[in-house]
């Protein structure tokens, strides 16, 4: 295999797809959010337990393609142990990357940087963003003290809905 | 629902291709199956310098267009462009003649009871909405609409909207595990309250060709109106509205080798006359005052505003091609290609095919799921190999839930599909598995 497929299906992507991190339901989650990308049948359930403002445990249960599954797996790896604000900032950074910006050098996005190859496949950007948009919506719901609404990417622009997460709250 | 069908030897045999009951026995040579029918007349399918060959396996979404249709579109805009039924000059008369010629040709093509029974719409979806909205005033709370579990959203959501407005209940003829309608359920679902039975002729996911005439006859015994969604049948097999016995039939031109933005509702003129028009505006009126208006005659009362005249002018070129090749020959070709695809997919192993196991019970499409590769990943990898398929729920979400799978990959065929296309599909699936097995 040569060409764009190489950059899309990197070994690390496939490894996350085969063995997704956080792929088990949490016993007693503080929050559970769901997102779906109906046009391709992807869906994700995100569960989190908090200790104060810190994300203590993450469950990411994805049914979907290799891109959405591996993106969710990388997300579980990246956000566990971080504060809610840090997680929101990561999600925003990743969304900006998917919308065309380059990966910020100052932020360690771990394995996530390999998903940059998705940009060459515009119809797949929604797959990569699905778990992250679900996370942003869950964080927003927590701040607003409401239950998360099921997120449906159908009809949304590729970059997802404007989430209005307040950047000042990040620390 | 996994099954194994036929073998390659029998597919190349004209005898095997002609076993379907009721099909005239013209011989379809192995070379014809190999090369596709009239493929050379479809510009997009031709290899060109700097462009890899395209294996277009998404005809169920929209068909490719023959050069004759493109030329007819060009000819209309170049030499005949004017509005219809309004101006009195010779150019407008020419445009009107072209538009009405389309109506006549469609009426003859589906054996409509009258030319005035052909309503020209924007597509099959528009036609179904026109029926569902137009019947609203005839239905009362508690009335029942009978659909099937294999409807496209276009023959489901308009009825849901109608049901919500009028307090109707929707009922569904279930499917068997073999992907066919469970006719044994029909007597339990039809009743005095059944006012409309609307069903798909050929499923866009399962490929199932439904026993439409039989279901229509059963519905009529209860006095129900009958509507046939023939979007996936038109152009793939002969259609005869009077033989089917249904009140109304819809299809779109763009899935039938014709232009985009054109479709048809075909019925008896007196049946159409009971529908309320969906849109008001120019062209659909007889007499207009400040407070009220009266409608033009059927079918013009359903054609408010300026229609897609160029598309209508060009569609007869597609019907010419279908007539030249012969609808039965096309049916046999697609059946042979479908049998080949079913066989090659099953030979791969690890593939679940949805719908009837035998190609003679199916239209020209195969939806399947691979045990390893998700449809969306498969579609991306196939695209890199020049193969166009569709991945997703194909506008049939409830059906996919019934099948217990969120998404499938669908390869769909047309008269131009050749064995190279099927080879490329199979090679692409193998390539995808290699990517995922690294």
Task: Kindly provide the ipTM of the predicted complex, given to two decimals.
Answer: 0.83
Q: Which two tokens stand for residue B252?
A: 């779109």
Banded model confidence at residue A164, pLDDT cuts 50, 70, 90: very low
Q: What is the mean pLDDT of chain B?
A: 92
**Cβ contacts (< 8 Å) between A123 and chain B: which residues?**
380
Q: Which residues pair with B353 in a beta bridge?
A: B368
Cross-chain CB nearest to A38 (options B384, B393, B438): B393
Which pLDDT tens digit goes with each residue over B101-120? 999 999 999 999 999 999 99
**Residues B130, B265: contact at Cβ < 8 Å?**
yes
Q: What percent of chain B has pLDDT over 70?
A: 94
Average pLDDT over residues B362-375: 95
Cβ-based neighbours of B284, under 8 Å, separated by 6 or more = B277, B295, B296, B300, B301, B302, B303, B304
φ and ψ at residue B16, rounded to 5 degrees:
-65, -35
Q: How many CA atoms lie within 13 A of A127 on its CB side?
A: 30
Q: What is the mean pLDDT of chain A?
A: 84
Asked whether the predicted pLDDT for residue B416 surpasses 80, the reply is yes
Nearest CA in chain A to B436: A14
Is A5 in Cβ contact with B438 (below 8 Å)? no
3 state DSSP class of B264:
strand
Q: How many CB pairs under 8 A join A and B?
A: 56
pLDDT of res. B38: 96
Is A8 in Cβ contact with B380 (below 8 Å)? yes
pLDDT of res. A166: 40
**Cβ contacts (< 8 Å) between B375 and chain A: which residues?**
40-41, 65
Does residue B102 have an active-site annotation? no
**Residues B29, B35: contact at Cβ < 8 Å?**
no
Of the ranges B35-49, B64-78, B311-325, which one carries the lowest mean pLDDT score? Answer: B35-49
> What is the distance in angstroms between the Cα of B227 and the nearest Cα belonging to chain A?
28
Is B393 in Cβ contact with A5 (below 8 Å)? no
Paired sense of beta strands B390-392 and B408-412, if any:
antiparallel
Q: What percent of chain A has pLDDT over 70?
A: 87
Nearest CA in chain A to B381: A5
What's the whole-model pTM score? 0.89
**DSSP code per residue over A66-78:** HHHHHHHHHHHHH
Of the ranges B10-24, B358-372, B390-404, which one carries the lowest mean pLDDT score? Answer: B10-24
> What is the distance in angstroms between the Cα of B200 and the nearest Cα belonging to chain A?
22
Ramachandran sector of residue B293 (left: φ over 0; alpha: ψ -120 to 50; beta: rest): beta
Average pLDDT over residues B146-161: 97
Which pLDDT tens digit goes with each residue over B371-397? 999 999 999 999 999 999 999 888 888
Cross-chain CB nearest to B380 (options A43, A64, A121): A121
Q: Which of B60, B112, B322, B395 is catalytic?
A: B395
Is B393 in Cβ contact with A1 (below 8 Å)? no
Residues in chain A whose Cβ is within 8 Å of chain B: 1, 3-5, 8-9, 11, 14, 17, 38-43, 63-67, 121, 123-124, 127
């Amino acid at each position: 295999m040569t060409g764009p497929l190489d950059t899309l299906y990197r070994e690390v992507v496939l490894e996350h797809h085969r063995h997704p991190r956080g792929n088990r339901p949490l016993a007693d989650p503080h929050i559970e959010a769901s997102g779906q990308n109906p046009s391709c049948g992807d869906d994700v359930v995100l569960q989190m337990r908090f200790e104060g403002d810190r994300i203590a445990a993450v469950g990411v249960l994805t049914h979907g393609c290799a891109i959405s599954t591996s993106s969710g797996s990388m997300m579980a790896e990246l956000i566990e142990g971080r504060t809610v604000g840090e997680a929101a900032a990561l999600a925003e950074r990743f969304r900006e990357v998917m919308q065309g910006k380059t990966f910020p050098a100052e932020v360690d996005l771990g394995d996530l940087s390999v998903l940059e190859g998705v940009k060459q496949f515009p119809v797949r950007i929604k797959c990569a963003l699905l778990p992250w948009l679900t996370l942003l919506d869950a964080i927003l719901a927590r701040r607003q003290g409401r239950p998360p609404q099921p997120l449906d990417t159908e009809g949304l622009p590729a970059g997802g809905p404007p989430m209005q997460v307040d950047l000042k709250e990040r620390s | 629902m996994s099954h194994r069908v036929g073998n390659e030897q029998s597919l190349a045999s004209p005898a095997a291709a002609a076993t379907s009951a009721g099909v005239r026995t013209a011989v379809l040579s192995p070379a014809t199956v190999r090369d596709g029918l009239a493929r050379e007349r479809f510009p997009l399918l031709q290899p060109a310098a700097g462009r890899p060959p395209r294996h277009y396996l998404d005809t169920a979404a929209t068909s490719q267009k023959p050069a004759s249709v493109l030329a007819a579109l060009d000819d209309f805009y170049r030499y005949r462009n004017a509005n219809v039924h309004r101006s009195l000059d010779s150019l407008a008369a020419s445009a009107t003649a072209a538009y009405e010629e389309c109506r006549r040709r469609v009426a003859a093509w589906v054996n409509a009871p009258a030319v005035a029974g052909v309503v020209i719409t924007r597509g099959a979806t528009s036609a179904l909405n026109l029926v569902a909205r137009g019947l609203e005033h005839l239905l009362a709370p508690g009335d029942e609409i009978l659909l099937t579990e294999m409807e496209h959203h276009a023959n489901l959501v308009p009825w849901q909207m109608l049901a919500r407005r009028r307090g109707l209940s929707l009922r569904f003829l279930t499917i068997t595990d073999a992907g066919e309608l469970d006719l044994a359920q029909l007597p339990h679902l039809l009743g005095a309250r059944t006012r409309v039975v609307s069903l798909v002729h050929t499923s866009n996911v399962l490929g199932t060709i439904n026993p439409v005439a039989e279901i229509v006859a059963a519905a009529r015994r209860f006095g129900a109106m009958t509507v046939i969604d023939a979007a996936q049948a038109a152009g793939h097999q002969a259609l005869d509205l009077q033989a089917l016995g249904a009140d109304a039939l819809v299809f779109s031109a763009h899935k039938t080798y014709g232009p985009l933005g054109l479709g048809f509702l075909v019925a008896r003129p007196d049946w159409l006359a009971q529908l309320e028009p969906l849109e008001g505006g120019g062209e659909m009126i007889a007499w207009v005052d400040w407070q009220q208006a009266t409608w033009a005659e059927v079918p013009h009362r359903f054609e408010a505003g300026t229609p897609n005249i160029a598309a209508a002018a060009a569609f007869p070129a597609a019907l010419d091609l279908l007539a030249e090749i012969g609808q039965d020959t096309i049916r046999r070709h697609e059946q042979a290609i479908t049998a080949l695809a079913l066989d090659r997919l099953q030979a791969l192993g690890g593939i679940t095919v949805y719908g009837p196991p035998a190609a003679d019970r199916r239209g020209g499409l195969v939806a399947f799921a691979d045990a390893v590769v998700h449809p969306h990943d498969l579609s991306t990898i196939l695209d890199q190999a020049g193969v166009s398929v569709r991945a997703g729920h194909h506008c049939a979400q409830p059906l996919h839930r019934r099948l217990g799978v969120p998404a499938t990959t669908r390869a769909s065929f047309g008269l131009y599909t050749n064995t190279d296309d099927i080879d490329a599909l199979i090679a692409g699936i193998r390539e995808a598995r290699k990517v995922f097995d690294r």
